[in-house]
Structure 1
Amino acid sequence: MSNPQLVESLVQRSLALSSTAGGELERSCWMVVHEHHHGVMPTEYDIREIDEDLYLAVLTAVKQSAQGS
């Protein structure tokens, strides 16, 4: 299971990113998890793997947060 504090931190970064990038939640979640895993934001065609479980945990939390707004 993912670290709840890490997930919350990535959720906050994802929400901030999606608010400036047109609201694409899936993309912003992928980008922040990619940055956490690889240390850099992805390039346009970056296909490096990320932690799928962490991505899904962040995406789920972001969607729940968005519904509560």
Structure 2
Amino acid sequence: MADQTLVTELKERSLALSASAGGELERSCWMVLHEHIHGVKPSEYDIREIDEDLYLSVLEAAKQSLRGG
């Protein structure tokens, strides 16, 4: 299970990016995780791996936040 403090931090960054990028939450979560793991924002065709479990945790936390939970 992912560290809850990290999930919360990444969730907040994902929500902020999603709000400024037209509401693409899944893409925003992926971009934030990519930057967290690799130290750089992804390029358009970047295929480097991210931690899928962490991605799913952040995405679910962000969705819950949007639902008011």
Aligned to 2:51: 51
- Measure, in 2, the Cα distance between the counterparts of 1:10 and 1:22: 18
Unaligned stretches of 5+ in structure 2? none
Report deviation, 1:11. 0.3
Q: State the superposition RMSD in angstroms.
A: 1.0
Residue by residue, what CA displacement relative to the aligned partner does 1:13-40 show, whole Å, maximum 9, x if unpaired? 0000001000000000000011111001
- What amino acid maps onto 1:39 in structure 2? G
- Measure, in 2, the Cα distance between the counterparts of 1:12 and 1:27: 14
TM-score between both structures, scaled by the size of structure 2: 0.97
Q: Which runs of at least 4 in structure 1 moved beyond 4 Å after TM superposition?
A: none
1:1-69 pair list within 5 angstroms: 1-68=1-68
- Measure, in 1, the Cα distance between the counterparts of 2:35 and 2:52: 13
- Count of aligned pairs: 69
| Secondary structure of the structure 2 residue equivalent to 1:68 | coil
TM-score between both structures, scaled by the size of structure 1: 0.97
